[in-house]
Structures are given as C-alpha cells and as structure tokens.
Amino acid sequence: MEGRKVDDPAACHHVHRAERVEFPGPGLRRHGFPFTDEQVNDGKRSYNSACSTCHGNTLANGTMGPHLAGQVFDAKWKDKTVADLFTYSRDHMTPSRPHSLPDETYAAITAYILRMNGNEPGDQPLLTDPDALANQQILVPSAD
C-alpha cells in the first residue's frame, strides 16, 4: 500500500503546540484489537509517505498537524470509536485532498495509529466498513 506526500504543506492547517508526549508503557497495552501486524507495517509506510509531513515521523512531533499519539490523541479520541477515527481520516485527510487514498490504505494508517498508541494487533484485519467498526471503542490508558 502506498500513500502520497503532501504537495502543499499549507494544507496541514493545524497549529502545532509543543508538549511532552508519553507513550503507553507495558502495563497500558490493550490486546487483540481488530488489526494485524501486516496492516501496521503497511500503515507505517503509508503514514510516512502521506502523513508525516504534517504530523511528524513519531506521530507526535509534527509542526503543522495535531499529535496522533500520546496524551493529545487520548484526550481527543477516548470517547470515540475506531469507525470515527477511520472515517475522519478518510473524509478529511489530507485537508487539500480527502479520499485521495484507497480505503485499505486509510485502514492501514488507522491500524498504525492505534498500534502506536499501545493497542496490540489481533488476528483479524481492520475493516474498511465504518458500520463494522462502529462498536469498537478506541481504548486509551486509564488515568489511574
């Protein structure tokens, strides 16, 4: 799966705010999510090609897009479903060219984002049907 580089960095209209990002530690892993290691690998390649210009190569060090990992991600997505993340990415990314990638690529990028936020892969691939993803809550570390 291939992504595309953003030709117009101004299309990444979000302002970056410097903040410390903490990735989940071993005690915060969520197991058996509906995506595979293969999707994560494909998603990483596609993310690096299509998303890292704005969001950064670590998902949390971009200067033109919001962080997609750590506390910022957790705060924004903790009450959302995997369908919400998938459809938002597909329908809005890149800002200048939404729907510019195949749905399978958006699913792989979604899997990569979930993995980078501590979710462990499962045996089944992440689907491209939002209705099938609607009951899958995005899991974030507890505040305990």
Whether the pLDDT of residue 6 is over 90: the answer is: no
pLDDT of residue 144 exceeding 80:
no
Is pLDDT of 19 > 60? no
Please report which confidence band the pLDDT of residue 25 belongs to, taking 50, 70 and 90 as the band edges.
very low
* Confidence tier at 30 by pLDDT (50, 70, 90): low
> What would the pLDDT profile of 57-71 be if each residue is shown by its tens digit?
999 999 999 999 999
Give yes or no for residue 8 having a pLDDT over 50: no
Q: Which two tokens stand for residue 18?
A: 């410097």
Q: How high is the pLDDT of residue 17?
A: 34
pLDDT exceeds 50 at position 35: yes
Spatial CA neighbour of 51 closest among 22, 21, 23, 92: 92
State the pTM of this model: 0.77
Residue 126 has pLDDT above 90, yes or no: yes
| Domain residue extents for the chain | 31-133
What Rg, from alpha-carbon coordinates, does the chain have? 14
Architecture of domain 31-133: Orthogonal Bundle (1.10)
Q: What is the pLDDT of residues 45-56, one digit of tens each?
A: 999 999 999 999
**pLDDT for the residue 14:** 39
Instruction: Give residue 23's pLDDT.
Output: 39
Q: Closest Cα to residue 44, out of 68, 76, 16? A: 68
Q: Which uninterrupted H or E stretch holds 111? A: helix 103-116
